[in-house]
Structure 1
Amino acid sequence: MSQENIALFMFATMLLLLLTGQRVFGAIGAVACIAALALYGTGGQDIPFAAAMKLMKWYPLLTLPMFIFMGYVLSESGLADDLYAMFHVWFGQMNGGLAIGTIGLMVLISAMNGLSVAGMAIGATIALPELLRRGYDKRMVTGVIQAGSSLGILVPPSVVLVLYAMIARQPVGQLWLAGIVPGLMMAAMFVVYIWLRCRIQPELGPALPDAGDVPRAEKIRLLGAGVLPLLIFAAMMVPFVNGWTSLVESSAIGALTAFFAAVAKGRMSWKVFETSTRQTLGISCMFMWIILAALGFGAIFDGLGAVRAIDSLFTEQLGLSPWMILILMQLSFIIMGTFLDDTAMLVIVAPLYVPLVGALGFDLIWYGVLYTITTQIAYMTPPFGYNLFLMRAMAPPEIGLRDIYVSIIPFVGVMVVALVILMAFPQIALWLPDYVYGK
């Protein structure tokens, strides 16, 4: 059997295991270990061992539990409730104002946590009931929450970009900086769409007269409560951007600042601390196992020459241009997103796509941002988008699956436009890391 056929057999076996419902790291790691022993004999066990050592020596990985802990402290302590109350009193008097405020809430949650699922959970439990109670259209609000949660893996500190950085061997700091402007651009596009839609159809997002009855002193108080997460984010990012601290040191500052902020506001109970710690440990271990499995799988794939074979197939045998190949890659992400989550997609195709993207002459930092946007589009594309079923599980009974499908279509359209803009103008993502690291 040729090396290319062996690589294809490995890939097919891994997909089959994933379709049976096996854990991602178990399916990928098992295929890697069995292939290593079958191809290289008893010395094959050195490949996953070398991957483990590489993982343990990767210093920026320490940022992962720090940022996850920071996010859970802020969410479990109830500071997200203060944010939503702030958006209600400051934006509630305009049509669609509370939906626009929800997008703002999602941006801040993204800056606190870095996980799209966390944003979805907070939005569905805090924002969704309030929006429905105030007469907002159910299809509008479910679309808003799903679209806003898509910012979680794009706006720093994105946990998925940490994973991409490890697999693609790119600096985490540059990837985070590359995600800021596209993330804010996409959030602004969501806001413009909501404003225009509610201006044309006011019944979708009615103005809230009770928001104007709040005393000015209370508005100022809520504004201060809402600004607190921004101050925590600034305390973490400003020293890093200015070169005063390393990435790991900044993550520690963020975690400690969030912890002491919760203590200062009287929100840090033993239950909050225990829940935050347990969730941090669980998610951190999950990501470490996935990275370990991906490194072992990628080492076998690279040794078999699968990347070179695919490069030759696309560019020499089929005669496709680099841009056509890139577009086909993005379409394949959308297809895989119907049954896989973002981390699974990344570790499956990274051994193939990332080296190929570099060989085609594209910037791997820019491609990391393209990947995150494309996977979120895949998550929200009917009929089997991952986020659609998460939304259905969290939504009240009156919101059916059909409502969720219809609600997301215009927001997916906005995200596709954002993706096309970013592909046409790569400097939207690259100018900030070039500026910061070029100083």
Structure 2
Amino acid sequence: MSQENTAMTADEIEAQLEALKRVHEEDSAGAQTALDRRIISFGGAFSFLFAIATIVSIYEIVMRYFFNAPTIWVHETVIALIAVCYLYGGMQCFAADKHIRIGLIYFGTSGGTRRLLDFVNALLALFFALAIAYAAYTMVEKSWWAPQGDLRLERSGSAWNPITPALVKMGLFITAVILSIQSLGHLWVAYKGTGYRQAASEPPGKLAVLGIAVVFGLLLTGGYFLFTEGRSLGIEAGSLLLVGSIMVLILTGIPLAFVTGLIAILFTIAWFGTSGVPLVSSRIYSFVNEYVLVAIPMFVLMASLLDRSGMARDLYDAMRLVAGRLKGGVAIQTLVAAVFLASISGIIGGEIVLLGLIALPQMLRLGYNRALAIGTVCAGGSLGTMIPPSIVLIVYGLTASVSIGDLFLATVVPGLMLATFYIVYIYTRCTLDPTVAPGIPEEDLSMPIGEKLRKMKGVILPVAVAFTVLGSIYGGVASVTEAAAMGVVGVFASAWIRGEVSWELITSSLKQTLETCGMIIWIGLGAAALVGVYNLMGGNRFIESTILDSGASPMVIVLIMMGILIVLGLFMDWIGIALLTMPIFVPIIIKLGMDPVWFGILFAMNMQVSYLSPPFGPAAFYLKSVAPKDMSLSEIFRALLPFIAIQLVALMLVLFFPDVALWLPNWVKGS
């Protein structure tokens, strides 16, 4: 097939994807309120705050390194701009139904059953939003008025000393109030049944009613013991009740961010009374003001620009020149391209969708085994958790107080090792059974030298961006956040040089960044609040003492932790797992005399497994969104099993041979 036909096939599939998205959006839009639609329409304007924050960050880099005139206002300005985007992103995702939820039950329902679940979810979301609004108001009251009642806006206390703390706290309060109004609107829509495709009078299924009754029965029983016993429950029973509440609540399909946040509030009230609720809002405020997290939206913006500009597609096409004649060459080139894509963006969902649009149809056209094609795309696209700049490692470094630069160095060898294992598996399987991966037609390989040079030229710019971003981090020239800002400018400049910059490119990339960060950060907000409350309950000391006093060897303790992470990965998103477990696990690792950098790589490898593992397995759902209609989720998950086994082998190697991860950072420090 010629390059033009290949591109046409990808364009056709992309058009089909857009059509499916429109159908889903129309289906969701029917259940949206006027407020939801207004929030979505204003989201584009708010998303430009990401662009302003990037420009301001670049200004600081230029002033510091070229004019030796560091600023005193950039740091706090960027944090405030991004914090506003985080808060608005939560409302936007709620309005557009983009928040992450365990949807195995929820998305399998329709009609009256879906309405019933939506009503339940809206009710739970309302409780969450009202509690956050109350907690935020107590912060606003102290940050906007003096004890005597005079207006006095809280300042940061830095050399610049802006009033951003007062403004961000007010922003959190306004966000919670709007979320409450949104929840009321969703309650009304679900109650009336307007906007649903099925008839509003269609009754919910009997099993659905029974299931929801059981869930609420369990919640009410647990709530009764929690609020009647309170602290007298003890931390042991409290821990079991907390974990059980999470597991039960996610069955309703309520967004994960609201699950953890709601449970944090309920346990705060039961354990410390209503006076303890401000603890939740203070944890949320501290989380959105973390400077390290600013790197996340910038890397997301890099990935969005890369996807929409066409550079990623050209990068994939160029890999044909590297692996075209090998056994399983197209699958191998997909993995090589995935490594490069991961080194530029670190965003997993976008990579899987992109490879699903470009690589999957080509492999299926050539007659590749469907399972091999599926596994290659999902496993390759998931390498973003391991290859720097990995957002997973950025969040781990933040929660564990570990150098992100050291983590990036430590993950290079394990990440490339895992990619190599995938390639060896594909090559071996295709060699033993040539029917699994037929060769590429000779006419596709006999490409004129001029065409080859043109394709290789298209790789120069994105690869240069990757080297610039990672080189500035490893070389100590820029922080992770500053390097991310440089990456955004680099990708944008590359797209400009290629003549691909348009208003549509900019606005759609910024909008995707707002929604993606709304999903990621709001899970973090709920998890951060829950961790703070649980630690105040004494949960961290309880788990630490239980593990350390068990008499188990350090390696057995680490194996137990790995098991816990794998089990949590079956049901929860990685950022929630990181914020829930790392504040407890990392101090234990340090007390055992082990390296937290090494443990961070183990955590990232665990999240690799979670991305592919059923029933949550985000990689499978990302691919399903762009896969042929006859490709079911069960087929996708079955295809991922060999790659999950490879991930576990790589995890065990790093677990039992820590130098696989640590030798590079140790070598850099020693040189």
CA contact (8 A) 2:280 2:533 kept: no
Distance 1:411 1:56 in 2: 35
On the 8 A contact 2:413/2:660 being kept in 1, the answer is yes
* Percent of aligned pairs sharing the same letter: 33
Q: CA deviation at 1:234?
A: 0.7
Are 2:242 and 1:15 aligned? no
Deviations 1:101-126 (A, max 9, x none): 00011111212221221221111111
1:255 matched to 2:470: no
Residue 125 of structure 1 is aligned with which of 341, 353, 357?
Answer: 357
- Return the alpha-carbon distance in structure 1 between the equivalents of residues 653 and 580 of structure 2: 27
Question: Which residue in the other structure is 1:265 paired with?
Answer: 498
Structure 2 runs not aligned, ≥5 long: 1-232
Q: Give the structure 2 partner of residue 275 of structure 1.
A: 508
Match of 1:321 among 553, 558, 567: 553
Selected match of 2:272 from 37, 40, 54: 40
The one-letter code sitting in structure 2 at the alignment partner of 1:343 is I
Alpha-carbon displacement from aligned partner over 1:139-185 (angstroms, at most 9, x marks no partner):
21111111112201111121222222222222322222222221111
Opposite residue 285 of structure 1, the aligned amino acid is G
Q: Deviations over 1:349-394 (max 9, x none)?
A: 3344333333333322211211121222233235664433443343
Unaligned segments of structure 1, at least 5 residues? none
Q: Which residue of 1 is the match for residue 437 of structure 2?
A: 205
Aligned with residue 25 of structure 1, among 235, 257, 275:
257
Q: In structure 1, what is the Cα distance between the partners aligned to 2:634 and 2:524?
A: 36
Tell me what 2:529 maps to.
296
Cα offsets for 1:375-430 (capped at 9, x unmatched) = 22233235664433443343213434454344222222221111111112212222
Q: Where does 1:52-67 land on structure 2 (aligned, <5 Å)?
A: 52-67=284-299
For structure 1, which segment, 357-366 or 180-189, has the greater mean C-alpha deviation from structure 2 after superposition?
Answer: 357-366
| 1:280 positional shift | 1.0
The CA distance in 2 between the partners of 1:349 and 1:18, in whole Å, is 18
* Residues 53 and 80 of structure 1, relative CA distance in 2, 3 Å threshold: same
Residue 236 (1) aligns with residue 469 (2): yes
Q: Secondary structure at the match of 2:273?
A: helix
In structure 2, the CA distance between the partners of 1:298 and 1:103, relative to structure 1 (3 Å rule), is: same
Highest RCO, 1 vs 2 (Cα 8 Å, sep ≥ 6): 1
Aligned with 2:335: secondary structure? Answer: helix
Other-structure match for 2:665: 433
Indicate the RMSD between aligned Cα atoms, in angstroms. Answer: 2.2
Q: After the TM superposition, which of the residue ranges 192-201 and 319-328 deviates more from structure 2?
A: 319-328
- Residue 460 of structure 2 corresponds to which residue in structure 1? 227
Letter of the structure 1 residue corresponding to residue 254 of structure 2: Q
Which residue of structure 2 lines up, in the alignment, with residue 399 of structure 1? 631
Residues 570, 610 of structure 2: 8 Å contact kept: yes
| Pairwise CA distance, 1:262 | 0.6
Quote the offset at 1:339 in angstroms: 2.6
Deviations 1:251-295 (A, max 9, x none): 111110001101110111111111110111122233332333222
Q: What one-letter code is carried by the residue in structure 1 that aligns with 2:304? A: Y
Indicate if the aligned counterparts of 1:160 and 1:343 stay in contact, CA closer than 8 A.
Answer: yes
8 Å contact 1:162–1:172 — kept in the other structure? yes
Helix, strand or coil at the partner of 1:2 = helix
2:384 is equivalent to residue 156 of structure 1: no
Paired amino acid for 1:87: M
Query: How many equivalent pairs are there?
Result: 438
Residue 398 of structure 2 is aligned with which of 163, 166, 171? 166
Q: Which amino acid aligns with 1:249?
A: E
Distance of 1:382 and 1:159 partners within structure 2: 22
Tell which deviates more after alignment, 12-21 or 136-145: 12-21
Q: Please give the TM-score of this superposition, normalised by the length of structure 2.
A: 0.62
Mapped contact 1:14–1:31 kept (Cα < 8 A): yes
Work out the CA distance in 2 between the residues paired with 1:71 and 1:47. Answer: 35
Q: Residues 69 and 437 (structure 1 numbering): CA distance in 2 closer, same or farther, change over 3 Å?
A: farther
CA distance in 2, matches of 1:271, 1:437: 45
Q: How does 1:78-157 map to 2 (within 5 A)?
A: 78-157=310-389
Q: Which residue of 2 aligns with 1:305?
A: 538
Q: Which amino acid aligns with 2:624?
A: R
Structure number with larger C-alpha Rg:
2
Among candidates 377, 380, 397, match of residue 609 of structure 2: 377
1:284 aligns with 2:284: no
Relative to the length of structure 1, the TM-score reads 0.92
Question: CA shift at 1:438, angstroms?
Answer: 5.9
Secondary structure of the corresponding residue to residue 119 of structure 1: helix
Report the alpha carbon displacement of residue 215 of structure 1 after superposing the two structures with TM. Answer: 0.6
- Using the alignment, how far apart are the partners of 1:399 and 1:364 within structure 2? 41
| Distance (Å, rounded) in 1 between the aligned partners of 2:589 and 2:292 | 24
CA pair 70-373 structure 1, distance change in 2 beyond 3 A:
same
- 2: distance between equivalents of 1:386 and 1:67? 19
2:603 is paired with a residue of what secondary structure? helix
Is contact 1:330–1:374 with CA below 8 Å preserved after alignment? yes
Q: Point out 4+ residue stretches in structure 1 off by more than 6 angstroms.
A: none
